[in-house]
Amino acid sequence: MFVLAYMVQLQVKHTIELHKTENELVGVNEKLLYSSMYDSLTGLANRQNLYDKLQYITANSNRNKNKFALLFLDLDNFKNINDTLGHHIGDALLKVIATRLKSVLRENDLVARIGGDEFIVILNDIKNEESILEGIEKILGIFKKEIIVKGKILKSSTSIGCALYPDDSKDINELMKYADMAMYSAKDHETNNFKLFTKSLDDDLHNEVNLVKDMHRALDEGEFKLYYQAKVDVNTKKIVGAEALIRWEHKTKGLIFPNTFIPFAEHSTFILDIGKFVLCEGAKFIKRVELLGLDDINISLNISTLQAKDTQLYDHLKHAIETNNIQAKNLSIEITESVMVENSLFASDLLHKVRALGVSIYLDDFGTGYSSLQYLQKFPIDAIKIDKSFVDEIKKDNEKNLILLNTILVMGESLGLKTIAEGVEEQYQLDYLQNKKCDFYQGYLKSKAIPEAAFIELLKKQM
Ligand code: C2E
Ligand code: CA
Ligand code: CA
């Protein structure tokens, strides 16, 4: 009897255990299935799930002759938030954004997270462009509202690229590529911005790819040259140095100016190769001038934002100074405010080290960007370059729009910074600047940027 009871008990226990493991297995399976389809952080559909759903959505769209819009979202400043505030804040921000995205979309729309800070949104049943714009506006709107994460107020924004099914493409991978391209184009302009894909974007990209290829060739074949534009003392009218400005002497297309190729070089790390070239050529030129017996001619080099964020910049500068055996005081670098805004701690550290080498630091295009007094005080800046647009305001018999220019000049003086006015073309502009105690100027009034030999001739004339 006892044995039987025991057997029954065992059996029951066994069945329960079996059941338990079966249940556990079902649970594990469900979990596995879930994690293969959903992003564990935000609970949104993941990339695989998105592709699966798109099969269904495209089939549906073909059957009903419906259109849908595929939006590619990429957060604008996410890396910065992660780097400065830590991953736990970055993760929390992503969760808030995911929740807000879901809340503004309609039931038959879809949102997926496909990478760190990349999301895809599918807007279904698109009747016309207006309905796309409406959807995009709603999404951009969620970034305009303050986001508070763990007691911190964060500013976040996104860039959106949009491609339309089936108009832009009937191939899902191509559609994703087009939306991605449109997103990059949107990012180029401003933050919290969007762009609809167009055929010309595709052509532009092809052109860009060809241009970048041609730039690589040109660098190897020595088609890039540094030209020099005189920096002149406003009072003595003597040349005190020059700004090196890059030119592309293209073998078939002739002379090409930097505004048509530098922005494209900046899309990739190729700008770092150009930067190295400029530094190397600039340092050699300083040596040549020093050997002429001119001890006090300062050459400034433009440093792109990416280059200024590169930890190697300091080493490259030091190397260029040492290998060419030049005086560091004859070298300056020109950086823009974006360097300081985007990674303030790193930039401040780097610039202090660069300055300790004896190299001067100019703040380029001053007045066009953030123009924050805070940066001027916090960073080791020697001079500010006043953008040409301010100098353009100096017109004959007109002193109306000069408040900003005057303020910059006074501010420079009171902070002990030198001021260099750019784009001076007329004598009366120079007279005005002299009156307002501006220190130096550059501009066509004295000279355009000219090849090395021509600039040396200009220098020799004043010896
Ligand atoms: P930037 O540094 O602001 O250079 C000043 C630009 O104004 C130069 O154009 C110069 O030729 C032009 N300019 C100077 N004086 C006058 C004037 O009196 N009137 C007029 N209308 N223009 C004047 P450029 O050489 O075409 O350079 C354009 C931009 O390309 C530069 O602006 C700089 O941001 C970038 N750049 C030039 N060389 C380099 C380089 O070696 N490296 C990098 N990263 N960027 C460079
Ligand atoms: Ca410059
Ligand atoms: Ca400038």
- Please give the distance, rounded to the nearest whole angstrom, from the Cα atom of residue 19 to the centre of ligand 2: 75
Is residue 99 predicted with pLDDT exceeding 70?
yes
Residue range 367-375: average pLDDT?
74
pLDDT for the residue 6: 41
If you write DSSP's letter for every residue of 439-456 in order, what string do you get?
Answer: -EE-STTT---EEHHHHH
Residue ranges of alpha helices (H) inside 222-292 are 262-265, 270-291
Ligand 1 atom nearest 227 alpha carbon: 25
pLDDT for the residue 28: 66
The answer to whether 290 touches 327, Cβ cutoff 8 Å, is yes
Cα–Cα separations (whole angstroms), residue 213 to 138, 207, 249, 258: 39, 10, 16, 16
The answer to whether 135 touches 160, Cβ cutoff 8 Å, is no
What are the pLDDT digits (tens) for 226-262?
Answer: 999 999 999 999 999 999 999 999 999 999 999 999 9
Does the beta carbon of 304 sit less than 6 angstroms from any atom of ligand 1?
Answer: yes
State what percent of residues in the chain have pLDDT above 90. Answer: 70
At 11 the three-state DSSP class reads helix
What integer best gives the mean pLDDT of the chain?
90
Pairing of strands 418-421, 440-441: parallel
Does the beta carbon of 367 sit less than 6 angstroms from any atom of ligand 1?
Answer: no
What b/e sequence results for 38-58 when a residue is b if at least 16 CB atoms lie within 10 Å of its CB, and e otherwise? Answer: bbeebebbbeebbeeebeebb
Does the beta carbon of 124 sit less than 6 angstroms from any atom of ligand 1?
Answer: no
Residue 186 identity: A
State what percent of residues in the chain have pLDDT above 70. Answer: 92
Q: Which two tokens stand for residue 258?
A: 């930097």
Ligand 1 atom nearest 258 alpha carbon: 30
Nearest to residue 154, comparing CAs of 225, 108, 220, 85?
85
List of residues 6+ apart from 305 with CB closer than 8 A = 266, 335, 336, 338, 339, 342
Band of pLDDT at residue 7, cut at 50, 70 and 90: very low
Residue range 295-307: average pLDDT?
95
At 323 the three-state DSSP class reads helix
Nearest to residue 366, comparing CAs of 283, 425, 423?
423
pLDDT for the residue 8: 41
What are the pLDDT digits (tens) for 106-136?
Answer: 999 999 999 999 999 999 999 999 999 999 9
Residue nearest to atom 13 of ligand 1 (CA): 423
Tokens 């002193």 sit at which residue? 399
Band of pLDDT at residue 83, cut at 50, 70 and 90: confident
Most confident of 198-202, 400-404, 429-433: 429-433
Does the beta carbon of 386 sit less than 6 angstroms from any atom of ligand 1?
Answer: no
Radius of gyration, CA atoms only, the chain? 30
- Please give the distance, rounded to the nearest whole angstrom, from the Cα atom of residue 457 to the centre of ligand 2: 22
- Please give the distance, rounded to the nearest whole angstrom, from the Cα atom of residue 245 to the centre of ligand 1: 6
List of residues 6+ apart from 299 with CB closer than 8 A = 228, 241, 242, 243, 244, 282, 285, 286, 289, 330, 331, 332
Is residue 4 predicted with pLDDT exceeding 50?
no
Cα–Cα separations (whole angstroms), residue 72 to 50, 160, 268, 319: 13, 5, 21, 43
- The residues facing 418 across adjacent strands are 383
Ligand at shortest distance from the CA of 232: 1
Kindly tell me the burial class for residue 73, based on how many C-beta atoms sit within 10 Å of its own C-beta (0-12, 13-18, 19 or more): buried
Does the beta carbon of 412 sit less than 6 angstroms from any atom of ligand 1?
Answer: no
Does the beta carbon of 258 sit less than 6 angstroms from any atom of ligand 1?
Answer: yes
> 402-406 contacts: CB < 8 A, separation 24 or more?
402/432, 404/367, 405/436, 406/436
What are the pLDDT digits (tens) for 136-156?
Answer: 999 999 999 888 888 888 888
Ligand at shortest distance from the CA of 366: 3
If you write DSSP's letter for every residue of 293-309 in order, what string do you get?
Answer: T----EEEEE--HHHHT
- Please give the distance, rounded to the nearest whole angstrom, from the Cα atom of residue 367 to the centre of ligand 2: 13
Does the beta carbon of 442 sit less than 6 angstroms from any atom of ligand 1?
Answer: yes
Does the beta carbon of 425 sit less than 6 angstroms from any atom of ligand 1?
Answer: yes
Please give the angle made by the CA atoms of 197, 101 and 106, to the nearest 5 degrees: 85
What are the pLDDT digits (tens) for 319-333?
Answer: 999 999 999 999 999
Does the beta carbon of 262 sit less than 6 angstroms from any atom of ligand 1?
Answer: yes
Q: Which helix (H) or strand (E) element contains residue 261?
A: none
Neighbours of ion ligand 3 (CB under 5 A): 364-365
DSSP state of 387: P
- Please give the distance, rounded to the nearest whole angstrom, from the Cα atom of residue 423 to the centre of ligand 2: 11
Residue nearest to atom 45 of ligand 1 (CA): 302
User: Of 227, 243, 245, 386, which is best to mutate to test ligand 1, by the most ligand atoms within 8 angstroms of its C-beta?
Assistant: 245
- Please give the distance, rounded to the nearest whole angstrom, from the Cα atom of residue 222 to the centre of ligand 1: 20
- Please give the distance, rounded to the nearest whole angstrom, from the Cα atom of residue 449 to the centre of ligand 3: 13
